[in-house]
Structure 1
Amino acid sequence: MKTAKATVLVAMAGLFATPLAAAELGAVDEPIKLAVNEWTGQHITTLIAGHMLKEAGYKVEYITAGYQNMWPAMAEGDLDAAVEVWESNVPQGYYQLRDGGRLEDLGALGLDAREGFVYPAYMEEQCPGLPDWQALAACAANFATVETLPQGRLVDYPGEWGTPGADRMAALNLPFKAIPAGSEGALVAEFKAAQSQKTPLLAVFWQPHWAITAFDLKFTKLPEGTEACYADASAGPNPDVTGDCDFLPTRVFKAAWPGLKEKWPAAHEILTNLQLSVEQQQPLMGAVDVDGRPAEQVVAEWVAANESAWRPIVDAAIR
């Protein structure tokens, strides 16, 4: 979620789950208001959803909304749906509204969101044993720089995002020094520079993000991230600490004003069945963020060329 713009150009067969049964359109004279948040992938998902709703016969409005503070507006019906919600970043107020029946969870979007230690694929030749995390202990010197010797260098998240890399290195007893990146752009610049020179690099990063594909980044296989690992020191490989494991998986889902189902039944069905995978979304993000093309243009091209991927979902919801 931590990226910035978006677009489309890949085959998306199986983009949407099979819906259940046809539903009534409802109030087609009133627009369905979709929240537009701060990152590229969300723009792509929202534009695809909006196109499907329009093809079903609805009016759609795209409303710029702050991700953290849009939930009361949605609970009041001033916004009708948000189609890419990252559970790792929703405020407590969302859960209070949902549990109080004022927001509806429309189910998972299908993105296999992930955070962890990444490296360029060519590092597997310089550090035999990768992607297993234990290989890093023996290969730390291969990742070292002048500022980190004798330890390896890990590029961590920007300082305002916390210190997840430094914390995990310490918990796993790996001989690496974590150096905070200045920004998301600085992280991407590290990947670009390393790829051009085939220099060593290990960093904390996430998917979906276009850089994963563009720079052929691979995730290190850390000990499985579980709730127990973060609560019980005995659950991970280091019996003296908690958090000696991978990031916890992040659920990405869709949420709506509870009145959506009654006011626009077929729209509710379409949004409930909307699905998008990392493999599908990442190249689209790259088309916007790297190629500089408008998300609206890229989505328009995709829907024109791939009608068979989405038309059956719309038709099944309204007929």
Structure 2
Amino acid sequence: MPNTINRVRCAGIGLALMLAASAPVAAADLGAKDEPIKLAMLEWTGAHVSTHIAGQLLEKLGYKVEYVTAGNFPQFSGLADGSLSASVEVWMNNVGDIYPKTLAAKQIEDIGKLDLKTREGWIYPKFMETVCPGLPDWTALNKPDCVKALSTPETAPNARFLDYPADWGSRAATIIADNNMPYTAVPSGSEGALVAELEAAEAAKTPLVMMFWGPHYALAENDVGWVTMPPCKEQTNEHCITPPDVDKIVWSGFGAKWPAAYAFLKAFKMDAGEQEKMMLAVDKKGEDLDAVVKAWIDKNEAVWKPWVDGAKG
């Protein structure tokens, strides 16, 4: 989940070339192939899909891969000290203060876009347009009847806004405050809790406004509207929600240690529609993540083979 900053590549590339000149060709291409590449596994299923596709393809290149559970902000500490090797689906609107600090310190490297077509903002079940006439315009949320419908014992007299889990980071509470909206942002417990509440609200026609993002399988199964957002008090990530970029971030020593893996990850892309299909299989149909990813890889060699072949070259 999701500003483009200058990349710092020269040191890693230079060292990779030095290694290539001083070692046998195969070893130089792969680098430290006996040391596992540790990929960050973030909380949402889309990131699981992207990460496991990257992981299985890295294994085809000849690498060992480990998947390490990591929080959205804490991952940058791991990437900075090398205890994590790479994170392939970093939503650039939720990177906090630690990302620019570790990037400026040259502890991490941003190696480019994942090319994942994204959407993020405030959503509501479509029936809410009768509860809060005027939606999707955000001013409809401030009308007394709408506030009353969304109020809960936990938030009264304010309305309740269902937010991301606390450790994901979010701009919702800031935007609510910026625009003096009578809402209280209440963090959800997890991605699963967000989806469960959306589905329950749809089924029971319970009023709900919440933070959400796409791609996500839930958007294919629930009829939702997207709020036309309030004006930004400041043109910053903390005060605005815009379609987020999704980048790939590696430990600063990654390119020198695993040159072919570095080239592969720079080329690696993820299609949002394909990702949603795999998320649906995992989250709703209960299929095994690795099996779903393997099936995609088996059917899509024409997509990924250029990435792998280019890395070998």
TM-score (norm 1): 0.70
1:128-167 matches, within 5 Å, as 129-137=134-142, 140-141=145-146, 144=149, 147=152, 153-157=159-163, 160=166, 165=172
- TM superposition shift of 1:119: 1.0
Q: Secondary structure in 2 aligned to 1:205?
A: strand
Deviations 1:240-289 (A, max 9, x none): xxx5xx43554431112333323433322220122224443334233222
Higher relative CO (Cα under 8 Å, sequence separation at least 6) belongs to 1
Q: Among residues 301, 304, 309, which one is paired with 2:295 in the alignment?
A: 301
8 Å Cα contact 2:162/2:188 also seen in 1: no
Deviations 1:60-116 (A, max 9, x none): 221415344454554454543221223444464544443233321111223355542
Q: Among residues 81, 86, 91, which one is paired with 1:81 in the alignment?
A: 86
Query: What fraction of aligned residue pairs are identical, expressed as a percent?
Result: 33
Deviations 1:6-28 (A, max 9, x none): xxxxxxxxxxxxxxxxx972327
Distance change >3 Å, CA 154–CA 115, structure 1 → 2 = farther
Output the CA distance in 2 between the equivalents of 1:265 and 1:83.
Answer: 16
Q: 1:38 maps to which residue? A: 42
Deviations 1:7-66 (A, max 9, x none): xxxxxxxxxxxxxxxx972327434513232322222111111222233x3212214153
> Structure 2: which amino acid aligns with 1:133?
W
Distance change >3 Å, CA 265–CA 187, structure 1 → 2 = closer
Q: Among residues 186, 189, 209, which one is paired with 1:183 in the alignment?
A: 189
Q: 2:65 maps to which residue? A: 61
Q: 2:235 maps to which residue? A: 228
- TM superposition shift of 1:295: 1.1
Q: CA RMSD in A?
A: 3.9
- TM superposition shift of 1:197: 3.6
Q: Secondary structure in 2 aligned to 1:189?
A: helix
> Structure 2: which amino acid aligns with 1:215?
N
Indicate the larger mover: 31-40 or 155-164: 155-164
Output the CA distance in 1 between the equivalents of 2:170 and 2:78.
Answer: 33
Q: 1:313 maps to which residue? A: 307
Q: 2:17 maps to which residue? A: none
> Structure 1: which amino acid aligns with 2:268?
L
Q: Among residues 98, 107, 111, which one is paired with 2:112 in the alignment?
A: 107
Output the CA distance in 2 between the equivalents of 1:47 and 1:130.
Answer: 39
1:272-287 matches, within 5 Å, as 272-287=266-281
Q: 2:226 maps to which residue? A: 219
Q: 2:241 maps to which residue? A: 247
Q: 1:206 maps to which residue? A: 213
Q: Secondary structure in 1 aligned to 2:199?
A: helix
- TM superposition shift of 1:296: 0.7
> Structure 1: which amino acid aligns with 2:136?
P
Output the CA distance in 1 between the equivalents of 2:99 and 2:92.
Answer: 10
Q: 2:262 maps to which residue? A: 268
Output the CA distance in 2 between the equivalents of 1:252 and 1:166.
Answer: 22
Gaps of 5+ in 1: 3-22, 232-242
8 Å Cα contact 2:50/2:88 also seen in 1: yes
8 Å Cα contact 2:86/2:251 also seen in 1: yes
Q: Among residues 116, 119, 125, which one is paired with 2:124 in the alignment?
A: 119
Output the CA distance in 1 between the equivalents of 2:195 and 2:309.
Answer: 41
- TM superposition shift of 1:316: 3.2
Q: Secondary structure in 1 aligned to 2:30?
A: coil
> Do residues 172 (structure 1) and 179 (structure 2) align?
yes
Distance change >3 Å, CA 171–CA 28, structure 1 → 2 = closer
Gaps of 5+ in 2: 3-25
